[in-house]
Structure 1
Amino acid sequence: MIKYFKNSLLSISIFGLSFMLSNFAFGQQTKKEGSIQNEDIVIDKERKIELQPQISRTFDPLQEIENKRKGRKMKYDFTERKLDDNSLPTVTSQVISPRSGEDISSEFGGKYKNMLKFGIGNYAHTYFNAHLGFTPDSNQFRGIYVYHDANRRGPTNSVYSGRSENEIKLYSKTYTSKYILNGQISYNNSVNNYYGRMFEPINYPNNFLEVSYDKFLYSGSIANSKLDSKFDYLATSSLNFTSSSNLDKEWIWDSKFNGIMKINDELSSYIDVQMILSEYTTTENNRRQLYKIKPSFFYKTNKVSVHAGINVVNEKDKLKGSITTQWYPVVKLDVKATQFLHLFAGLGGDTHFYSYLQNINQNPWLDKNLELMNPQETTNLFAGFKGSNEKNIDYEIKFNYSEFANLGFFIPTAADTSKYKMVYVGGTKKVQNYNVSGQVNFQLNERLLSILRLEYNEYLNIGDLARPYAKPLLNISFNNSITFKDRIIISPDIYYMNGLYGFNPATNKEVKLNDIIDLNLKVNYLISKKFNASVSINNILDKQYQKYLNYRVQGINYTVGLSHSFN
């Protein structure tokens, strides 16, 4: 095991060293055309419709007052449905705002290299966000990102339900005429408390119920930047180390390669390869591996496109002593019925790698010695329609039917109902999942943007489980952004979730949880070109709802913030 780990780590180190040396070497070159900004590059030779940056509840700094929105088109970009992607921004004990260190753009103009954010609120909330970047050359960008978000007091209004998250990230981007290099190193520490107990401790240390997670990430990528090239590619490699105060540890090495070869104007060939090596250490060491290769062809005319191939997956589990290989046909047909309507349908399947890191990101109140299994989506049939007038409306409605083996559900442990474990179903009889998802984006004018999302999930054949615990039946969100006089942005958001159930092992009975209605409001005010103030109010209805049994969220909570952007 040690030899295996050392060999893997050596390979990663060689890759990382080569990447960093290449990064600094190419940094000495001078790009002939233009200069870079601190932004992501998307390589796409086919015209596609993209949505404006999605509305989030961060305290984004407002910057240049220049109005660059005139004449712009409505944009959207729909993504494939993710497994177990049913969550709300406030379903846990706190609101942790989404963020990305390098993304400091504004609706009002260009980007600054540097940004500082400060915020305070009730529940002893403190917030700090900083980004410092520089361009040593016209084709390079370097940056450091620091993040802090904490509540000293949590939903029970005591220190035993507080939480915190801290992160620091260093990253580098280099652009050349042939390829693009990206690299980053980050460290994240998050602290939560097992406050879902019947009684809180008295006169115990503040960290008596505490559980903490340390996450280290290194990642690098190289991609083609030639717009006239017949072969496009993207190669990425990442290394994650995760450890907890429960003495669980995990490392994951995940490498991917995606390539596209243009055969002619109508036909292209695709190749997608992935390798995942991991080891999860508790009372026992479990080494797991997953390999995927998916060759396919894409044929496209003005009215019809067909994408067909095969997905071959091999997985190994040392603890179970199992080696399995699965193959899934992959087909998608898209027909352009009218200018405003596309019809699509297809079939597929996949084996999803399920890690300790993914579990704690979904539910931080896990017990130690977690069982890990990879869900197998043995069947996936889908159909739907989508379209856009490329001005102010775009939409997508999709219907899915899937069958799963080894589908996981969170339930409390019998020994301590404040801690959760994973239970897997779909062994002999596959779990059936009926899914309907949709999204509508509407932009009335330059000042009003609305996004409506809906997802419906029904699970059948779930083994010994009476209900699909912690998985909602219906999930709806309605996000809005309203701009007044180029100085004020008001963002009212509504989230709704129902059909949630929990399991109480003490009574061996299911518990129906109340529907979730979460109303939020954020207001940003531009004080000057580089300063803006913000007020964010979450859970305005003051409902301490639960997604996970025994864990209610904060009631009404607010944060007042100030942002400063500069070069």
Structure 2
Amino acid sequence: MQNSSFNTIYTRLPLLLIALGCSLQMKAQKKEGEVKTDEIEVWKEAKVNLPQANRIFEKISTAKIDNTKKPIRYEFIERRLPVETPEFSPTVTMPDKGSTKENEFAERYNNIIRAGIGNYGHTFLEGHGGFSTGEDNYHGVYVKHNSFRLGPIGANYSGQSQNLIKVHSRTSFSSVKLAGALGWERRGFDYYAYNNQTNFNFPESQIFNSWNKFNFTGTVSNNNKNAKVDYVLNSNLSYLFTHLKANELVWNANLKGVYPLTEQLSALLEGSIVIAQRQDSLTLYRNLYKVKPTFQFKNDLFSITAGLNIINDREKNTFNNSYLFPIVKIDVQPIEGVKVFAGYEGDVYANNLSSLLTENQWLGRFTQLRNTRKTADYFAGAKTTLSNGLSVEAKISYARYKDFYVFNSNSTDSTRFDVMYSNDTTIVKVTTFSGQASYQIPDVWRSNFKFDVNVYSGLGNLENAWHRPAFNATWTNTFTVKDKLLLASDFYFITGLKGKNYVTNREVKLNSIIDLNLKATYLLSEHLDLFISVNNILNKSYQRYLYYPTQGVNFLGGLSYSF
């Protein structure tokens, strides 16, 4: 549906959402949040996915439900597009609450320092310090340094680094909870994709790039268990600038709320706004507005959610388009321990320079930006949970996209990538089969296996789904040995990747990615532990993106101290 149908709505909607977001930012000066913007949706049990789901939402989901039939939750990650790039380099993160001994110890302390060294000139430092001023009031600072001085090609011509600092805070009152964070992150890397690996007789600075990002996040949410309305307001303001003289200012805010009309019927509302300004050779102003009103009927056997996704996508002096997508979702629990679901929806996803760089950091200058429109998505699935600790999920989705994007090498420089979009006459169709299985023996072993099969058709001008996987799978395991030794493994398998060198006009089929990583942590005391991570144990030489090989076997070892 085009502009004329919604002009009245959208002349007022941006002003309302901007007012809400500005109010949020002024209130959230000292709060906790995440430094980077997460742009995935998590499918939960047929209800708005709000952090405060233990209050009003708990009342809704348990109304007139037989307690012997526990709700079955499915946790598929709804990706914007089937492009999932795992971080294969060593990742050592702060422990959080969990069932392992390492995490049990960490719960007792607010502060932690981790430091390590490894091959490829790898240096690692991570620290968090904080203090609480009450049960629900906390303030802290987090820092991280993760650097490889050397890389897989030309030694120091393919190094990379990450530095990050974040100050965060959360404060609770009787009826409202405030959280926020202010952070800075810098990443440095080289364009090292050269076929002749010995031809590095020029200054490394000629192929160097970096980006810096300042980020503020704020959250205001309901904290009253007896409140009639449950809600959460999020706001994020970020400024990114690169060594290649591009910068981007992005503000996005979203509102989610629920109002129970009866014990079984609820009204839900989601609204979001993304305002972006990118400066490169030109200044580009792009805005995206969404309002998603829905109603949900739920009893002890099934739930039905129905509503509309009303969207306005505009670019200054270029276009101003409005869309209306219906939303229908049905969940049924026919027998105890089994849930089936099906639905239909459409959406528009914001593609900004910041989000694209997180997928592929080797983009060239003057990156083209367009939002991707999912004109239709039909999906169905099921989950079963068994009493022996095993749960199995499966889902099938058939989606149609406009402005579907892929990454491929630049037409004149194969070391840099362009973002390529399907044209106006092309509707890309993606069929995805997803599944996962989880098993655990409490306090001993946890295992989780996930996979996706992607089938692309109708690619039109794109020729191929460049650098998008046909199949990818992950298998993660954690073991606890005598409450002292903690072992973890993760295995990645990705296949079906293709790229094209437009300089030689040759299509290249990339080798399958097979990556096995292991981590061991030995608890020396309640405060001190020793850790070592070994990555790419099979020493596979693979490329996630054309002509960019990854490191071979690499390790990181160090100490962690909690206090």
Superposition TM-score, scaled by structure 2 size: 0.87
Q: Is the 8 A contact 1:404 1:426 kept in 2?
A: no
Q: Is the 8 A contact 1:117 1:128 kept in 2?
A: yes
Are 1:18 and 2:27 an aligned pair?
yes
Distance 1:456 1:426 in 2: 25
2:266 to 265, 268, 272: 268
- 1:391 shift after superposition: 5.6
Secondary structure in structure 2 of the residue aligned to 1:207: helix
- 1:458 shift after superposition: 1.1
Match of 1:474? 471
Are 1:132 and 2:142 an aligned pair?
no
> Cα 1:457–1:202, aligned 2, differ >3 Å: closer, same or farther?
closer
1:367 to 364, 368, 387: 364
Distance 2:444 2:479 in 1: 6
Distance 1:358 1:75 in 2: 32
Are 1:44 and 2:54 an aligned pair?
yes
Secondary structure in structure 2 of the residue aligned to 1:547: strand
Q: Is the 8 A contact 1:104 1:112 kept in 2?
A: no
> Cα 1:42–1:505, aligned 2, differ >3 Å: closer, same or farther?
same
> Cα 1:409–1:429, aligned 2, differ >3 Å: closer, same or farther?
same
> Cα 1:230–1:13, aligned 2, differ >3 Å: closer, same or farther?
closer
Distance 1:98 1:234 in 2: 30
- 1:304 shift after superposition: 0.7
Are 1:563 and 2:560 an aligned pair?
yes
Match of 2:281? 283
Q: Is the 8 A contact 2:373 2:401 kept in 1?
A: yes
- 1:339 shift after superposition: 1.0
Match of 1:431? 428
Distance 1:203 1:22 in 2: 49
Show CA shifts across 1:48-99 (max 9, x none).
Answer: 9xxxxxxxxxxxxxxxxxxxxxxxx9997614411235334346xxx15274
Q: Is the 8 A contact 2:72 2:383 kept in 1?
A: no
Distance 1:246 1:390 in 2: 55
Query: 5 Å matches for 1:71-470?
Result: 78-84=75-81, 86-90=83-87, 95=89, 97=91, 99=93, 103=96, 107-108=100-101, 109=104, 110-156=107-153, 158-199=155-196, 202-318=200-316, 321-389=318-386, 392-470=389-467
Distance 1:21 1:83 in 2: 31
Match of 2:496? 499
Q: Is the 8 A contact 1:102 1:143 kept in 2?
A: no
Are 1:533 and 2:524 an aligned pair?
no
Q: Is the 8 A contact 2:432 2:454 kept in 1?
A: yes
Secondary structure in structure 1 of the residue aligned to 2:461: coil
Match of 1:553? 550
> Cα 1:9–1:341, aligned 2, differ >3 Å: closer, same or farther?
closer
Identity of aligned residues (%): 30
Show CA shifts across 1:471-513 (max 9, x none).
Answer: 0000011100111101111112211111110111122121111
Secondary structure in structure 2 of the residue aligned to 1:16: helix
Superposition TM-score, scaled by structure 1 size: 0.86
Show CA shifts across 1:127-161 (max 9, x none).
Answer: 00000001134431001000000000011151110
AA aligned to 2:374 is E
Secondary structure in structure 2 of the residue aligned to 1:472: coil
- 1:397 shift after superposition: 0.6
> Cα 1:202–1:123, aligned 2, differ >3 Å: closer, same or farther?
same
Structure 1 gap ranges (5+): 1-7, 24-39, 49-72
Give the CA RMSD over aligned residues. 2.4
Distance 1:22 1:272 in 2: 22
- 1:225 shift after superposition: 1.3
Distance 2:127 2:446 in 1: 28
Distance 2:530 2:24 in 1: 43
Q: Is the 8 A contact 2:72 2:338 kept in 1?
A: no
How many aligned positions are there? 514
Q: Which moved more, 1:142-151 or 1:421-430?
A: 421-430
- 1:518 shift after superposition: 0.7
Match of 1:29? none
Distance 1:329 1:554 in 2: 46
